[in-house]
Amino acid sequence: MSQMHAIVIGAGIVGVCSALQLQRKGFRVTLMERDEPGAGASYGNASVLASESVTPISMPGIVRKVPGMLLDPMGPLRIRWSYLPRLAPWLWRFVLAGRKAEAERITADLAKLLDGCIEDFRPLLKAANAENLLVERGWIGAFLSHATLEKSGYATELQERHGVSIKKMTTNELRELEPALSKDIAGGYYYPGVAHVVDSHKLTVRLADSFLSNGGTLLKETAKDLSKDHKGHVCAVRTESAEHSCDKLVIAAGAWSRSLARKAGVVVSLDTERGYHFNINQPSIGLSRPVYVPETGLACTPLDDSIRLAGTVEFGGLEAPPDWKRAEVLASRGRELFPELDTQHGTSWMGFRPSMPDSLPVIGPATPSSNVYLAFGHGHLGLTLAARTGRMISEMACESSVCVDPHPYRSMRF
């Protein structure tokens, strides 16, 4: 096994965890990244290990929301008109995934993947001496209106059915946990099993450093093409400057994975849900745990030295420039939740979630007998599921038993 060479394309949190797990299994591993580790979506996300997020993004009733997505540029879900023709096939699959029976099947498949996902981080954090980056204080779902709180019953019922621990709380009970919360919220839920990290970028970099200090190689190059041997197996990755041979290849290039997957012989329905953050260095309030507002899609997370307001979804592809007004809107929504929050000074960021229409990632071989493994499409859960994904990929690459049956996450499921 020590002779086997694996290349992992993409040093986001999914690629880094895959590289570490392959290394732990005895592979010689090269991590190929065109930028710096953690420069993609893994840089600025909400940093929540959202182990309770078993329900898909597309849920029953989503069809009624699509017109609003087109008409409200500052809404929590937005589609840019110019991108609609390219998005249409993906959007149709997204709508189909929201049918009740489908949503329930997907919930079961997500729950299997999420079960124990935080535990899978522990050996990686320990080896990186980075256990202090993990904070286990749960998280809060805070509702702005009584009407939406009442309508949330179906989603919480699905969560409970799949073993998620939930406590319904009044406004006062939530304010006992987080005194900075507004008196005007309608109440919500506390999820004790959820964790967060003090900074997703710092975590990715620390894990990448651990990979390097264990003898891994980091190549700052862009994967352009794949070379195949006479049997049709991928034997090398071609970059702008060289050709690097490999026995196994992992494509973990986040939202940019689609063209590489096609070169490995598979067409995947991958698009991007662009998201924003507004990061406040001197927030003037204290916060112990992340708070999420389902109505606005806002997540507020205490990082080691700041508070991050993150979230919302914008369908606009990989090329269109950011719409920074969406980050400003996050600031005003933050004040709605925390009246004392000082949002005068903050920094804005946009990132590309790699998203599949059914909210399930792609984890597994490109085609049944391929030596190329796909590890992308984690949408809103890439940080949460990174260690679990890396473990599954390394188990498949070793042809040993896999901790979660990978069938629901196969590349050719549509």
Nearer of residues 147 and 267 to ligand FAD, judged by Cβ? 267
- Kindly state whether residue 382 participates in binding ligand FAD, applying the rule CB under 6 A: yes
Which tokens belong to 110?
A: 């997500």
From 56, 141, 297, 351, residue interacting with ligand FAD (rule: CB under 6 A):
351
From 6, 7, 13, 298, residue interacting with ligand FAD (rule: CB under 6 A):
13
- Kindly state whether residue 380 participates in binding ligand FAD, applying the rule CB under 6 A: yes
Nearer of residues 239 and 371 to ligand FAD, judged by Cβ? 239
User: Using an 8 Å Cβ cutoff, are 254 and 376 in contact?
Assistant: yes
Classify 262 as helix, strand or coil: helix
Nearer of residues 181 and 253 to ligand FAD, judged by Cβ? 253
Options 38-46, 72-80, 134-142, 324-332: segment touching ligand FAD (CB under 6 A): 38-46
> From CA 126, how far away is CA 114, in angstroms rounded?
20
Pairing of strands 271-280, 307-315: antiparallel
Number of residues that bind ligand FAD (CB under 6 A): 43
From 130, 330, 383, 393, residue interacting with ligand FAD (rule: CB under 6 A):
383
From 6, 19, 22, 32, residue interacting with ligand FAD (rule: CB under 6 A):
32
User: Using an 8 Å Cβ cutoff, are 54 and 164 in contact?
Assistant: yes
User: Using an 8 Å Cβ cutoff, are 224 and 211 in contact?
Assistant: no
- Kindly state whether residue 310 participates in binding ligand FAD, applying the rule CB under 6 A: yes
Options 44-52, 69-77, 153-161, 170-178: segment touching ligand FAD (CB under 6 A): 44-52
Classify 329 as helix, strand or coil: helix
Options 37-45, 61-69, 71-79, 399-407: segment touching ligand FAD (CB under 6 A): 37-45
Residues 245-284 that bind ligand FAD (CB under 6 A): 252-256, 275-277
Which residue stretches of 57-170 are H helix? 62-71, 84-97, 100-114, 121-127, 146-151, 153-161
Mark 142-160 as b/e (b = at least 16 C-beta within 10 Å): bbbeeeebeebeebbebbe
User: Using an 8 Å Cβ cutoff, are 198 and 133 in contact?
Assistant: yes
Q: Which helix (H) or strand (E) holds 177?
A: helix 171-177
- Kindly state whether residue 378 participates in binding ligand FAD, applying the rule CB under 6 A: yes
- Kindly state whether residue 364 participates in binding ligand FAD, applying the rule CB under 6 A: no
Options 6-14, 95-103, 131-139, 164-172: segment touching ligand FAD (CB under 6 A): 6-14
- Kindly state whether residue 198 participates in binding ligand FAD, applying the rule CB under 6 A: no
Classify 149 as helix, strand or coil: helix
- Kindly state whether residue 307 participates in binding ligand FAD, applying the rule CB under 6 A: no
Q: How far is the CB of 378 from ligand FAD (least distance, A)?
A: 4
Nearer of residues 164 and 253 to ligand FAD, judged by Cβ? 253
How far is residue 366 from each of residues 6, 99, 233, 255, measured CA to CA in Å? 15, 27, 11, 16
Q: How far is the CB of 365 from ligand FAD (least distance, A)?
A: 18
Q: ∠ at Cα 232 (230, 237), nearest 5°?
A: 100
What's the full length of the chain, in residues? Answer: 414
Contact residues toward ligand FAD (CB under 6 A) are: 9-15, 32-35, 39-42, 45-48, 50, 222-223, 252-256, 275-277, 310-311, 351, 353-354, 376, 378-384
